[in-house]
Amino acid sequence: MLMYNKQKKTQGQAGKNRLLISITVIGSAGPIRFVVNAEELVASVMDTALKSYAREGRLPVLGSNVNEFVLYCPIAGTEALSPVEAIGSFGIRNFMLCKKPQPMEEVGGDGKPVTVGITRKNSGSWKSWFNKSFNLKVSTH
């Protein structure tokens, strides 16, 4: 009976500051779910998510460098979360992990690489795609 009370007491204390979070990786089949301390830093959570992603053998292969990724909260807005903040300070449990956009490099006329801004092949937004897809052309006959 004494052992049972000690286990119950320690479980109750540990459960107060732990969160079950869900991280969706862009291009992956489903979210990664794991338990973290609410005081854990965003960078540490990203590292855990990348390691878990690799251990499960998910595709596409991402790598393990935390500095190449950003963590977003789809509900809170479009700003990336600061890597030095506590994950529990946001009050949210669903996140999205994205790779940082890398600038493209081109070789200039003198043979030196020139960094160019990020370009898009498409027009840019889902709204413009939607408007182009459902553009109704009304003919007179």
CB 19 within 8 A of CB 88: yes
Query: Which residue bears the tokens 């182009």?
Result: 132
pLDDT, position 110: 64
**Residues 44, 40: Cα–Cα separation, whole Å:** 7
Per-residue confidence (pLDDT) for residue 52, from 0 to 100: 94
Q: Which residues, in sequence order, are CB contacts of 33 under 8 Å at separation 6+?
A: 20, 21, 22, 23
Tell me, what's the pLDDT at 59? 87
State which H helix or E strand residue 103 sits in.
Answer: none
Structure tokens at 73: 């909260």
Q: pTM for the complete prediction?
A: 0.63
Domains of the chain: 2-101 (3.10.20.90)
Return the pLDDT at 10. Answer: 53
pLDDT of res. 90: 85
pLDDT values of the chain reduced to their tens digit, one per residue, 141 residues: 455 555 555 555 544 699 999 999 988 889 999 999 999 999 999 999 999 999 999 988 888 899 999 999 888 777 889 999 999 998 899 999 998 877 666 665 666 665 555 444 444 555 565 555 555 554 455
How many residues are recorded in the chain? 141
